[in-house]
Copies of this chain bind each other. A is one copy, B any other.
Amino acid sequence: MKIVMIGAGNLATNLGKALLDSGNDILQVYSRTLRSASALAGLLGGSPVTDFGSISNDADVYIVSVRDNVIADIVPKLCRGREEKVFLHTAGSVPMSLFEGMALHFGVLYPMQTFSKSKLLNFNEIPCFVEGNDDFAFETVNSLAGSISSKVYLLNSEARKHLHLAAVFACNFVNHCYSISSDILAKHDIPFDVMLPLIDETARKVHVMSPKEAQTGPAIRYDQNVIRMQSDMLRNNPLIKQIYEYMSVSIHHTYKSEGE
């Protein structure tokens, strides 16, 4: 298919590369800055574009991968004059209905993964959640997603919203925990690398048991001495101290009814 990519961030970069590699043709890459548009267009073999007037009418599909808080501004400008095309966005928490009244055929392709421009991923194992407003849009998004991933699921906007919230906990907040851990180690001149076997095993464990069965540590043992001491060690960083305390209380609450 002929595709125009709107956006040149982490997700657009990884998705665009996967679409190109699976035989699609990326005509153009739009970004607000020429630098970003050119960088991704260079990778994908299309032309960089920085104004909506220059966007081609020749594509089959227009894929919007921009920050959730600018997507609503972009969609009307993008759809105008090419209402019969297929428009997709890639956001977890934005409903498909965003396109309503702007286009005839539209849908969502949400690849649930953490993307960085500097680390291009193999899409085959990335779960992609799709929906379309009619048969034509659905067939298009389903076929596009199927060309890059072996894990394509139909999911409506309401359920996707909850999936995205679950992903924020399982990825974004997890990574922030890594980051807090790394800051604590750095202050005591311990290299972050010593933490990697623990990080890996924590992730591996939930492949073979539920997160509840996998839980360990002072909070589930309700080791009050340790919890009090560790909380006190964070006294100079009130925000991290709050996170520590709420996490510990939440772990304790989750398990106390189940015994230990």
Q: Which residues of A contact B (CB under 8 A)?
A: 10, 67-69, 93, 112-116, 118-119, 121, 125-127, 151, 153, 155, 159, 161-182, 184-185, 187-188, 190, 192, 194-203, 205-221, 223-226, 229-230, 233-234, 239-240, 242-244, 246-247, 249-251, 253-254
Contact = CB atoms under 8 A, between A and B. Distances in A.
Contact of A115 (B163, B216, B233, B243): B216
Given A166-B184, A203-B203, A216-B171, A198 B114 contact: yes
A197 B125 CA distance: 7
A198 B167 contact: yes
B178 A174 contact: yes
24 contacts: A67-B223, A113-B201, A114-B201, A114-B214, A114-B217, A116-B205, A119-B205, A119-B208, A159-B190, A162-B190, A165-B184, A165-B230, A166-B184, A171-B199, A171-B202, A172-B220, A174-B202, A175-B211, A175-B215, A175-B217, A199-B203, A202-B203, A239-B249, A242-B246
Given A112-B194, A192-B210, 12 more contacts: A113-B201, A116-B209, A119-B208, A162-B184, A166-B180, A167-B198, A174-B178, A176-B254, A178-B211, A181-B211, A202-B203, A242-B242
Contact of A196 (B207, B215, B223): B207
Nearest to A180: B169
Contacts of A10: 216
Q: What is the copy number of this chain in the assembly? A: 2
A119 to B, nearest CB: 7
B127 A176 contact: no
A196 to B, nearest CB: 6
A61 to B, nearest CB: 24
Closest 4 CB pairs of A and B: A172-B217, A179-B211, A170-B181, A178-B211
Main secondary structure of the interface of A (DSSP, over half): helix
Given A68-B221, A210-B192, A233 B161 contact: yes
Contact of A114 (B93, B188, B216, B247): B216
Contacts of A185: 162-163, 166
Given A168-B217, A216-B172, A243-B247, A201 B162 contact: no
B233 A165 contact: yes
Contacts of A226: 68-69, 93
A190 to B, nearest CB: 6
Nearest to A216: B114
A226 to B, nearest CB: 5
